[in-house]
Amino acid sequence: MNKHLHQFQHALTHTLLCLGAIGLGFLSGCSTPPPVAKPPAATPPPPVAKVPEVVNTPTGLASLARNSKEYRKDAAGHLYGMNAQRIYKGRMPPLLEAVGVLNVDIDQKGAVKAVNWMRAPKHVPQVMAEIERMVKAAAPYPVPRHLSQVTYTDTWLWHKSGKFQLDTLTEGQD
């Protein structure tokens, strides 16, 4: 009887082990597969700068700006176009030769009526003179079609190389 009991226990153990292996195989077949690695998301394209609302007219360029803030974009684009070789490309370094804030009065024909410094870089008078010269030489500016005249303000970021960026169109600073 002992021998039969031992054989029975052995058979029972073997059967339970087989059933356990089958159960594990069944359960592993039912489990969710490992997650499939997703390809990295495409990086979105860099934002496109809004083109100023300047239109050609028989007498030159006209701005469709309705206030001085809108006109500032048109004026900055005009200055960049007139001084393309002087624009600092890329991010400006942390230390600049000068930073100045300038008000420019433009009449209904696009002529410069006045330039007034709000924050003058007085430590570099030659830079102040050069900025004023560039502003005046860029006239006529786009005619402010919806404004009888306009005073726009921009910040000049001046590099020691003589190149600049305007805060309105800057590429940033390191």
Q: Which two tokens stand for residue 63?
A: 């701005």
24-33, 84-93, 95-104: range with lowest mean pLDDT = 24-33
pLDDT at 73: 96
C-alpha pair distances (Å), 10 with each of 5, 14, 17, 155: 8, 6, 11, 91
- Helix (H) or strand (E) run with residue 30 in it: helix 2-30
Global pTM value: 0.67
Q: What is the mean pLDDT of residues 99-128?
A: 98
| Multiple choice CATH, 63-169, 3.40.50, 3.30.410, 1.10.10, 3.30.1150 | 3.30.1150
Check if the beta carbon of residue 165 is closer than 8 Å to that of residue 72.
no
Query: Rounded to an integer, what distance in angstroms lies between the CA atom of residue 171 and that of residue 174?
Result: 10
Check if the beta carbon of residue 141 is closer than 8 Å to that of residue 68.
no
Q: What is the mean pLDDT of residues 70-85?
A: 97
